[in-house]
Amino acid sequence: MNISHAAVTAELRGVGKRYGRQTALDGVDLVLRAGELTALLGPNGAGKSTAVGLLLGLLQADSGVATLFGRSPHALSSRRRSGVMLQSAGIPDASKVGELLEVTRSYYADPCSMAECASTAGLEGLLDRRYGRLSGGQQRRVQFALAICGRPRVLFLDEPTTGLDIESRQGLWRAIRTRVEQGCAVMLTTHYLEEAEALADRVVVLNRGRVVAFGSVGEIRAHVAQRRIRCISHLSAEHVAAWPEVRHASLESGRLQIVVDSAEGVVRRLLAEDAELGELEVQRAGLAEAFIELTREAA
C-alpha cells in the first residue's frame, strides 16, 4: 500500500448511517487528499451517495465522524471551498445557462472567469440557452461548470459522465485531471470502471455499506490474480471450460475468451491441443473483473 502524505481534505471515520431499519453505511473509513482523485465504486445501493451526502453535510451520521477541511461539513467556510455535482441537480428549467453561471460564481471569492468556465465544460454557444431546453448531456456539462466555477479545493462528482457521448466524456475527464493537477481533492462515484481506471489515484470499493477494498487501481486489480486469454481456435468453449485451471470460457465474436487463475499451463495445453491456434493474447484482469470478484466475495 502506498502511503500518501498529501493533506487530508475530507474524511469519514467509523461512520454509520441508517435509514429506518435499512443500514446504508456500517463503520466506513474514507479519506480524500489534496491533489488526488478517489473513486468510490460499488453496486447499486452500496452506500456511495450516502457517503457523499455525509461529507457534504446534507446527511447526519448516526455514529462516527465526518469532516471537511478538518471541521464540520456544515461550516460555511468549508462549503465555500467545495464544488458538487450530484445526480439530482434541482436547477430551474427556465434559467439561462449564462445567468446560472453568473449567480453561482457570485457565491465565491475568486471564481473562474465566464470564458474559462465555458471552455472547460464545453459550453460555448450554450450560454444564452435555457437550461430546461438542453439535452441531458448538455445539462450534465452545465452542472459540471457550476461545480468547478468557484475553484473548489474539494470536488464531489456523483456519476458525472452518465449520459455523455464519448467526446464530452473525454472532455470532462481532461477537465477533472486538470483540477486534480491543480491540487483539488476529487471524489468520483461512478459505475463506469474504465472511468475509475482512467482517472483514479485510489479506489474505494463499497458493498452493502462496508468498505470491501481500497488502494490504487493496480492494488485493487492485484486482488484478483486472474488473466484473460483470447485466441482463435477450433477447440470448443465447453471443452476448455472443463479444464481445472479455467474459471470461465466462452466464444465471443469468433474468439475463444478464457478467464484463468494462472495462464501458463492453459496456454501450453491450448497450443498442444490445437496446432493451428492463432492470435493468442494474454491480459491481466482489469478493474471490472476485480470489482466483480470483490463484491462477490463480500456477499
Distance of CA 125 to the CA centre of its chain: 29
CA distance 211 to 29: 8
Minimum distance of ligand ATP from residue 47's CB (angstroms)? 4
Q: Contact region for ligand ATP (CB under 6 A) — 29-37, 41-49, 106-114, 220-228?
A: 41-49
Q: Per CB under 6 A, does 104 bind ligand ATP?
A: no
Residue type, 170: Q
Site for ligand ATP in 112-171 (CB under 6 A): none
Cβ distance 68 to 10 under 8 Å? yes
Q: Contact region for ligand ATP (CB under 6 A) — 44-52, 63-71, 115-123, 262-270?
A: 44-52
CA distance 172 to 201: 17
Residues 6+ apart with CB under 8 A from 79: 57, 73
Minimum distance of ligand ATP from residue 88's CB (angstroms)? 11
Q: Which of 10, 24, 68, 121 binds ligand ATP (CB under 6 A)?
A: 24
Q: Per CB under 6 A, does 45 bind ligand ATP?
A: yes
Q: Per CB under 6 A, does 46 bind ligand ATP?
A: yes
Q: Per CB under 6 A, does 30 bind ligand ATP?
A: no
Q: Which of 9, 38, 49, 226 binds ligand ATP (CB under 6 A)?
A: 49
Nearer to ligand ATP (CB atom), residue 50 or residue 168 = 50
Nearer to ligand ATP (CB atom), residue 86 or residue 164 = 86
Other CB atoms within 10 A of residue 276 CB: 7
CA distance 30 to 11: 6
- Contacts with ligand ATP: how many residues (CB under 6 A)? 11
Q: Per CB under 6 A, does 88 bind ligand ATP?
A: no
Question: From residue 211 to residue 240, what is the string marking binding to ligand ATP with x (rule CB under 6 A)?
Answer: ------------------------------
Minimum distance of ligand ATP from residue 132's CB (angstroms)? 24
Q: Which residues bind ligand ATP (CB under 6 A)?
A: 19, 22, 24, 42, 44-50
